[in-house]
Amino acid sequence: MTVARVRSGGRPTLEEVAARAGVGRGTASRVINGSPRVSAHTREAVEAAVAELGYVPNRAARALAGNRTDAIALVVPESESRFFAEPYFSDIVRGVGAALAETDMQLLLTLAGSDRERRRLAQYLTAHRVDGVLLVSVHADDPLPDLLEQLGMPAVMSGRRSASEPLAAVDSDNFEGARSAVDHLISRGRRSIATITGHLDVYGAQRRLDGYRKAVASAGLDPDERLIAPADFTEEGGARAMRDLLARRPDVDAVFAASDVMAAGARQVLREEGRRIPDDVALVGFDDSAVARHMDPALTSVRQPIEEMGREMTRVLLQEIAGEDLERPQIVLPTELIVRDSS
Amino acid sequence: MTVARVRSGGRPTLEEVAARAGVGRGTASRVINGSPRVSAHTREAVEAAVAELGYVPNRAARALAGNRTDAIALVVPESESRFFAEPYFSDIVRGVGAALAETDMQLLLTLAGSDRERRRLAQYLTAHRVDGVLLVSVHADDPLPDLLEQLGMPAVMSGRRSASEPLAAVDSDNFEGARSAVDHLISRGRRSIATITGHLDVYGAQRRLDGYRKAVASAGLDPDERLIAPADFTEEGGARAMRDLLARRPDVDAVFAASDVMAAGARQVLREEGRRIPDDVALVGFDDSAVARHMDPALTSVRQPIEEMGREMTRVLLQEIAGEDLERPQIVLPTELIVRDSS
DNA sequence: GCGTAGAGTGGGAGCGCTCCCAAAAGGTAG
DNA sequence: CTACCTTTTGGGAGCGCTCCCACTCTACGC
């Protein structure tokens, strides 16, 4: 892997490569950057010199001269523990990494939780330290998307804040995911199907509720509002919601929770109340996280294609950076229902 | 053409800041970089100009001129799913981010799983694209640590490969963690305590086994080798090991698994065999992951201070970059036993 | 009063690249 | 063979910063 090279001074420069190939600096640069305006003969000579010297372009010099950085930032709201929970973060990163592997773009990780960090972030972007931005888990009142739009900075977000975004967005199909989960419960013969929702100012949570409603309506079931319990994506919230549901509608025979963690909370309450899962009450979650796989009984859950979302976001961002203007694509990726013992 | 540039758009430069403050470029630079050789009066003038113009230094120019990048790389072996599993990855990142928040260092995320990527990585490092490297989850036969040592690149690893490393390393106290877990089982009156180990060519796994042995010996218990079942950190491996244990020593009344995931596999088998947890067999895991919290019964587990490890690694790396030579500190952070229902 | 040591300051000389213009080389038609 | 295009090529001019040398200006000693 490492060629022992006796060089007088540090890393070779473009100038040295050019000299070795017997061409000018400009020509060498053209070859390195794949310009077509170079004769085949010259190209070969330069490529040989590059190989012999083990030349690697200096990023800083390139960035300074070319006014670009060959780097994108992944902005992570560290305050939001939900995002950091398995499997979201690692899967997104994996997808982004996969999409970036083909290019020589660098991935900058930016934790922007506190105000202080958001201020720093704004500076980063303004100072053009990156060519593009990947925004994940954006809050409804997050100013960042608009700021980026204003600055004309290429950016893609995952998880929309509303139906119409100023930025390109990649999301999973929350509506269909929820609907498929409830359809599944219906096909199992359940009739009194409740749902535990997430914060409804999160667009995805709203869409999951919409999907639930749609499935219930399509099946001609009773659309009782008492079967809808709002919660906040936490385990405690899920437990509380489950208690409310049991109090209001003791005949409930199935629950669709908008996250696995809330389902875990619900399961706890159901068990305390002596309801068997799935015999008395069937339970379905959302996310297909480790929690679902290791719950007892194993939890049926809606899987989101997180890694693919990361890949897709990156793909769109790279296109935007390349200047292929695709006026804010809003991409929606399909979910998959993973059926386990709880339903 | 020597006409002073009148820049209407774009970011302000140092030159412009200097002009505005009525000083030379060199002096302005000194203020920006906190040099003490500037009079208070001048400093104030420059700082005012910086504030008025909203000046942010250009990283590329700084890197090019100063021969440093103000960036460190976090090298992640993406192939190893164990690392990507919760909570390791996100917690490390959180810790690193926290330590970096004080500085204006950037964090570069590098997925180096495949050979192709490792080659690229070597180039990155050789081309001095970063000032330092954070290495996590290093394999026993990983060449990277030695390569970095050779190149004289500041680097810190988490999780050692052996007792003596060429690089600074930060690790959790696997030995004491394991010992405390087994001590706990002993204090609960267990006498036939088995262990399910991870791959023993992983240093941490070996240390956990050592801790187990030490605790067993200290308590004067029977050090039966049949109570030691080697596995591989996977759920299936844990299940297989548990089956072996039950076959060899049906009287086993406690199991210390070297990871929560393996404990989950063991739990499955115990349940199948009709052994109650913790009544018949007490179970303890390692990692304190989501799996542990959501297992039924909730799993007693050894918590590693992952986030703190990330913070500590970064702290050490920054010192190394700053040139404070602390000859390869080997830092070991304490673990904590989280007692739950399974023991 | 003259010298001398700092402290404080200005700006030239790059860092290694891309951009772009002008010159050289090669082709073609008349 | 000449005029005129069309590639192909070389290299100057920066990009915005840090480093460092030389210079100015003070304060102090004798």
Q: What is the pLDDT of residues B206-223, one digit of tens each?
A: 999 999 999 999 999 989
Q: How many CB atoms lie within 10 A of CB B340?
A: 18
What per-residue confidence (pLDDT) applies to B6?
A: 41
Residue numbers 51-70 of A with CB closer than 7 A to any atom of strand C: 55, 57-58, 61-62, 64-66
Distance between CA atoms of B199 and B12, rounded to whole angstroms?
56
H/E element, B248: helix B235-248
The DSSP secondary-structure symbol of B227 reads G
Mean pLDDT of chain B: 89
Q: How far is the CA of B2 from the C1' of D14 (A)?
A: 13
What per-residue confidence (pLDDT) applies to A83?
A: 57
SS3 state at A300: strand
**Residues B82, B137 contacting (CB under 8 angstroms):** yes
What per-residue confidence (pLDDT) applies to A5?
A: 33
Q: Which amino acid is at B56?
A: V
What per-residue confidence (pLDDT) applies to A81?
A: 57
SS3 state at A111: strand
Q: Which nucleotide is nearest to B15 (CA to C1')?
A: D16
What per-residue confidence (pLDDT) applies to B84?
A: 55
**A-chain residues within 8 Å CB-CB of B116?**
101
H/E element, A284: strand A282-287
Nearest C-alpha of chain B: how many angstroms from A254? 21
Q: How far is the CA of A61 from the C1' of C24 (A)?
A: 29
Residue A126: what are its φ and ψ, rounded to 5°? -60, -40
pLDDT (mean) for B55-68 = 93
Q: pLDDT at residue B8 above 80?
A: no
Kindly give the residue spans of alpha helices, DSSP state H, lying in A219-305.
235-248, 260-272, 290-294
- Quote the Cα angle for A235-A240-A242, to 5°: 95
SS3 content of chain B, % helix, strand, coil (to 5): 45, 15, 40
**Residues B135, B160 contacting (CB under 8 angstroms):** no
Confidence of residue B4 (pLDDT cuts 50, 70, 90): very low
Q: What is the pLDDT along chain A (343 residues), one digit of tens a residue?
A: 333 333 345 789 999 999 999 999 999 999 999 999 899 999 999 999 999 999 999 999 999 999 889 999 999 876 655 555 656 888 899 999 999 988 889 999 988 776 666 666 766 676 768 999 999 887 777 788 888 888 888 999 998 888 888 899 999 999 999 999 999 999 999 999 999 999 998 889 999 999 999 999 999 998 999 999 999 989 999 999 999 999 999 999 999 999 999 999 999 999 999 999 999 999 999 999 888 988 889 999 999 999 999 999 999 999 999 987 777 889 999 999 999 999 9
Q: How far is the CA of A319 from the C1' of C25 (A)?
A: 38
| Domains of chain B and CATH, by start | 14-57 (1.10.260.40), 71-171+306-333 (3.40.50.2300), 174-303 (3.40.50.2300)
Mutate to test the interface with B, among A96, A106, A137, A340 (most CBs of B within 10 A): A106
H/E element, A94: helix A88-101
Q: What is the pLDDT of residues B85-130, one digit of tens each?
A: 556 888 899 999 999 988 889 999 988 776 666 666 766 776 768 9
Is residue A322 within 8 angstroms of chain B, CB to CB? no
Q: pLDDT at residue B82 above 60?
A: no
Q: Which amino acid is at B295?
A: M
Distance between CA atoms of B141 and B119, rounded to whole angstroms?
16
What per-residue confidence (pLDDT) applies to B34?
A: 93
**Residues B206, B195 contacting (CB under 8 angstroms):** no
What percentage of chain B has pLDDT greater than the value 90?
Answer: 69
Residue B208: what are its φ and ψ, rounded to 5°? -65, -40
Q: pLDDT at residue B149 above 90?
A: no
The DSSP secondary-structure symbol of B226 reads G
In chain B, at which residue ranges do the beta strands (DSSP E only) sit?
A: 71-76, 106-111, 132-136, 155-158, 168-172, 193-197, 228-230, 254-257, 282-287, 300-303, 330-333, 336-338
Residue A204: what are its φ and ψ, rounded to 5°? -60, -40
What per-residue confidence (pLDDT) applies to A213?
A: 98
Strand B71-76 with B106-111, pairing = parallel
Q: pLDDT at residue B168 above 80?
A: yes
What per-residue confidence (pLDDT) applies to A1?
A: 34
According to the per-residue pLDDT averaged within each range, which of A125-134, B77-86, B259-268 is highest?
A: B259-268
Residue listed under structure tokens 């490297």: B133
What per-residue confidence (pLDDT) applies to A47?
A: 96
